[in-house]
A and B are shown apart, each in its own frame.
Chain A
Amino acid sequence: MSQIALTIALPFLAAFLLPVIGRVYEALARVLGPLVLLYCLWLVLQLWGTGDGHPVALAMGGFRPPMGITLYVDRLALLFTLLVSLMTLLLWPWQRAADSRECALTLLLAGSASGLALSGDLFNIYVFYELVSVASFGLVAVHRSGAAFVATLRYLVISGFGTVLALTGIALVYSQTGTLNLAQLAQLAPDLLAGPVGLAGFLFMLLGFGVKGELFPVNTWVPEVYATAPARASALLAGLVSKLSLLVVLRLLVLLYQQEQALQLLLLLGVLGVISGELAAWRARDLKRMLAFSSIGQLGAMFIAFSIPGNAGLLAGLALALHHLLVKPALFLLAAGWPGAVERLRGLARGGPLAAGLFVLLALSLIGVPPLPGFWAKMLLVVGLAGQESGYLLALAVVLGAAVLEASYLFRVVAQLYHRDEEAARPRPYLLDLGSAALAGAVLLSAVPFISPLGDWLAGTAAQAGDREGYIITVFPAAGRPLYSAAGGGKPALAAAGPLPEPKP
């Protein structure tokens, strides 16, 4: 199981060596990235097969948990590592494979995303998160147009702001607890992090780590970046990276902040995200920004889901996230070959029937039309929300209203695509993007008959991810016993957090 670290290390190694190899064997450099990702994919699949489904904690560098960095491998983390390899492979920038820097950045994104999925250490999460940021800055600016630079800059400033906030939050948490290990933090949280300090830390970390997750209000970069970035980069960001940000928030919530105020905060921001995103999307006049705004709305729904206490919310959020992860990239890829403005999509279905059909399929699933998977995800959310108190009911109304708006604007696009009265526009040829999108569509369709087992499996995953005790016991296997910090030489850590030796002036 410790080989899972390879999914971080190997892409990094490949990225480092890519410029060097590129000078010697150009052909090798072109395929190195995909090969490495393929290997990672194979590795994860193999680990999946050999693992018994129980979570495993890995001590990086061989140092025991509270001191060293822990990687926590449960089903969810493994799933995300798998998805990282898979998605980066699918969204590999083939057209621009000649540019070793872009390939290197994509590899770095893959490695750091895996790290983000696996990490069990607060600061380590921060580091990988920043790495994802920096790699994505480069990737979204590759078109080298003025608009792309400005959009990336706006993204960078927001992201930098978020970095500062996250760092402040981590500083607060560390000042309060003296540890960064999530499991240990989980043990200490009920005592130390329930107060204003802890909550302030949560607020800062949420805003900081929410930037990639398109959390309101740290999402103002989204529309311009997706409008100017290459489709594959947009797809990666909207599809994959945003979900990793969600994963971080999920871990924080489950392990550190299972309290009402934190959940309410998340609920509020999620609702605002849904409202603002969907309304803005309704007004959007070009397809890419429409997709970007709708992505904000959908991620808002996931934050709402996570704000539901208990495993029902986790399950709903995960289902929504996985569905979005499949659908949104495909939509961005489809949009890549089309002209931007919605009015100019007129009659495209005749030139590219497959693309138009795929768009309809994906849109239907996104809206939540049964029996497509999107429906079941939305259903889980509705079921989760309906069982809650008044604020959640409001959120339910918002989510459902948003679906109406979604249907309205997505099908405005469909109406343009199938417009028959004038001469048809033709899409650019873009077989590769279309193929990837078609693959997503096929996966979506083939998931329909297996919804029931998929749902059960996902419920198990969510239950595992939501199992705080399990996390602690996995990292500190002294089953059920209070944690012994090495510092105290057998003294309980909880006590160590109490009165300390009188400081000497």
Chain B
Amino acid sequence: MRNLASLLFAGGLAFLLMAIAALLPFGHPPVLAGGAILEQAADQVGAANIVTAVVLGYRGLDTLGEITILFAAAAGLGLVLGRRRAGAPRDPDAGPVLRTGAALMFPLLVLVGFHIILHGHLTPGGGFQGGVILAAAFFLPLLARPGTPVDHPGLSLVEGTAGAVFIVTGLVALLTGGEFLQPLLGTGTLGTLFSAGTLPILYLALGLKVGAELAGLLARLADAETDT
């Protein structure tokens, strides 16, 4: 009965949402803010990848909030899961194929991750994407050797400093007479690596933070999994 009602409601919801969607100007988006950004991003920010310009420039505050959410999630996770009991049993190491594969992949993944982070203002990609790859790079050995202790303090140091760098960059702008999170150091030449002012620095901090955060999250969850 309950399920039937739920399905009926869900069907109704889908139908109504479609009805609403039919009223939307699909394919003719009213690009008000977006249009302005497209036109002026090159001059104002200097990042070839306009999405990056939006993420770090125009909507920098969102991005700050976003990494903070990750941080908060990590802190909350730590609070919820608590410390691992000393001497809790761990899973045994994986087989040699996985171990060797992990060792081979690790430098490659780190490299790719940093590349994607550092070129975020030029090409598709950026701090988040790269950060996730970095996290994967650090998680891979953990899959292969669950017994290896995770360096949580180190991760939190990276987390904290990277986040602080992001904010301090913003604060420097504020203290030098601009607004919070205003890009500094000029725009540079469009399309080159050292362009778009502080954006690459921010993206680096972001990537490191995301990477550390995700790695920490995964490691903690993995810890919790075995600690029964």
Contact = CB atoms under 8 A, between A and B. Distances in A.
Contacts of A69: 58-62
A67 B33 contact: yes
B20 A68 contact: no
A177 B156 CA distance: 41
A2 B180 contact: yes
B32 A111 contact: no
A144 B80 contact: yes
Given A66-B36, A67-B36, A131-B72, A60 B61 contact: yes
B179 A62 contact: yes
B24 A175 contact: yes
A149 B62 contact: no
B39 interface: yes
B61 A115 contact: yes
Interface stretch (B84-92, B96-104, B164-172): B164-172
Contacts, number: 219
Interface in A183-223: 184, 195-197, 200
B37 A61 contact: no
A59 B173 CA distance: 13
A26 interface: no
Contacts of A8: 61, 180
A2 B171 CA distance: 11
Contacts of B38: 487
Interface residues of A, number: 75
B58 A67 contact: yes
Contact of B164 (A6, A13, A184, A487): A13
A303 interface: no
Most central of B29, B30, B38, B167 by chain A CB within 10 Å: B30
Contacts of A497: 30, 32
A121 B165 CA distance: 25
Contact of B20 (A60, A134, A197): A197
Contact of A134 (B60, B61, B69, B173): B69
B175 to A, nearest CB: 9
Nearest to B75: A101
A112 B16 CA distance: 34
A66 B171 CA distance: 23
Contacts of B203: none
Nearest to A135: B72
A493 interface: yes
Interface in B65-87: 65-66, 68-69, 71-73, 75-80, 82
B32 A496 contact: yes
Given A61-B183, A127-B65, A19 B20 contact: no
A488 B35 CA distance: 8
B215 to A, nearest CB: 15
B59 A123 contact: yes
A413 B68 CA distance: 41
A178 to B, nearest CB: 3
A176 B24 contact: yes
Nearest to A127: B65
A131 B65 contact: yes
Contacts of B58: 61, 63, 67-69
A12 B179 contact: no
A188 B36 CA distance: 17
A19 B153 CA distance: 8
B64 interface: yes
Contacts of A176: 24-25, 30
A488 B34 CA distance: 11
B130 to A, nearest CB: 20
B32 A493 contact: yes
Given A66-B33, A489-B39, 12 more contacts: A5-B174, A8-B180, A9-B170, A12-B64, A15-B71, A62-B179, A67-B37, A67-B40, A115-B65, A123-B59, A141-B76, A142-B79
Interface string A119-160: 100011001101100110110011010000100100000000
A485 interface: yes
Nearest to B82: A144
A286 interface: no
B27 interface: yes
Contacts of B72: 104-105, 108, 131, 134-135, 138
B34 A127 contact: no
